[in-house]
Amino acid sequence: MSSISNNDAHERARKLIALAGPDALSASDRLSDQPLSNAWLAAHLATCASCRAFAENAAEMVRGLRTIPIAAERSLVSTTQIKVRRRALELQHHRERVWLVSISCAAVTLCALLSAAILWHGFEWLGSRAHLASSVWQVGFLVFCMMPALVAAILLLAKDRHLADHSGSYEG
């Protein structure tokens, strides 16, 4: 009678081990939905050497099977790390470029303001030397400042005219 109940107990223990997997021995809190079965299994394993051996074999087999996907995961992890690192470098380079461009813009603006101030004082000095009305040298300053834009506009217009003339001559 007692041997039959013992066989039942071994059967139950091995079923629990098979269902729980290798973590049943180490992490008992993972089976929170079966705390009573888990406690019973722990108590049985403490007293039964054959079931303990079964549990250890099962755990070892499952661990052996788990090394295969782990190897695949490692290569995936390394390629992901490489991609993340490359993306971080790209972002860093982009930030450096943006920084350089903003520094250049600030420098150009500062130079333009400085040269405008110097030119303003130069025109003021020339105006006072030539005894001109302030409105006259101020207009001169504005014309001088707009000169590059005016020259560029005239050149572009001339180029357009030139191209138009050329296409006209090809047509005619």
Query: Would you tell me which residues interact with Zn ion (CB under 5 A)?
Result: 10, 13, 48, 51
**CA neighbor of 20 nearest in space, from 37, 1, 7:** 37
Q: How far is the CB of 69 from Zn ion (least distance, A)?
A: 31
Q: How far is it, in rounded angstroms, from Cα 18 to Cα 31?
A: 13
CB of 39 to Zn ion, least distance (A): 15
21 vs 122, which CB is nearer to Zn ion? 21
CB of 9 to Zn ion, least distance (A): 6
Query: Is 36 or 133 the residue whose CB approaches Zn ion more closely?
Result: 36
Question: Residue 75 corresponds to which tokens in the numbers above?
Answer: 């290569």
Cβ proximity to Zn ion, 36 vs 71, nearer residue: 36
For CA atoms 36, 42, 46, 48, the dihedral sign is positive
**To the nearest whole angstrom, how small is the minimum distance from the Cβ of residue 48 to Zn ion?**
3
Q: Are 136 and 127 in contact (CB under 8 A)?
A: yes
Query: Of the two residues 25 and 132, which places its CB atom closer to Zn ion in the complex?
Result: 25
Buried b (16+ CB within 10 A) or exposed e, 136-155: ebeeebeeebeeeeeeeeee
